[in-house]
Amino acid sequence: MGKNYDVPAERQAAYYIGMLMLVIGLILFISPMCTAVDAVRESSDSFLDKRTGNPMLSSEPGAMFQTHRKVTDSLPLALVGMGLFAVGAILMSVGRSGPAGSGLVLNPRQEVEDLEPFSRAQGRMLGQMLDEALPSDDSGSAIKVRCRHCRALNDEHDKFCGQCGQEL
């Protein structure tokens, strides 16, 4: 059984597309907020009498309606942005950990396979830590040859002693 240890290309693509959707969704979600704030500020300015600073409700009766329309017009865009954001987040998670690894599909066996690149990376880190922690001439089954001249231990394939340089 040939094992693919790398994250598949389609999952990488899903991750990056998800990230893109997340960013676009965020922009779509935030920009209507800005227009809404702007519209409210604009209209509240026009409601104030320029000389006295008092509200003058009699003038421009359509202004309030205008503001309301601007805000409601931008509301669907904010919802689309929220949707994009959510879908993007799911795509990123699926791309990162695979459909089972991200919990989208309940399949423990597939989950282990999906998360293999990550668990393997962790295993490799653990292996490196063990390599550093353990003394190097304790490395298991390698056959050692003792030098006849200085009694130092050498690998069985070595031609010359690493300690004294004499032929083994």
- Binding of Zn ion at residue 160 (CB under 5 A)? no
Beta bridge partners of 54: none
- Binding of Zn ion at residue 149 (CB under 5 A)? yes
- Binding of Zn ion at residue 150 (CB under 5 A)? yes
- Binding of Zn ion at residue 167 (CB under 5 A)? no
Closest distance of CB 152 from Zn ion, Å: 5
Of the candidates 70, 75, 67, 72, the one whose C-alpha atom is nearest the C-alpha of residue 28 is 75
- Binding of Zn ion at residue 163 (CB under 5 A)? yes
List all residues 6 or more positions away from 99 whose beta carbon is below 8 Å from its beta carbon: 105, 110, 114
Closest distance of CB 157 from Zn ion, Å: 16
CA distance 145 to 142: 10
- Binding of Zn ion at residue 27 (CB under 5 A)? no
Nearest to Zn ion of 44, 163 (CB atom): 163
- Binding of Zn ion at residue 161 (CB under 5 A)? yes
- Binding of Zn ion at residue 155 (CB under 5 A)? no
Q: For residue 145, what is the enclosing H or E element? A: strand 144-146
CA distance 41 to 50: 15
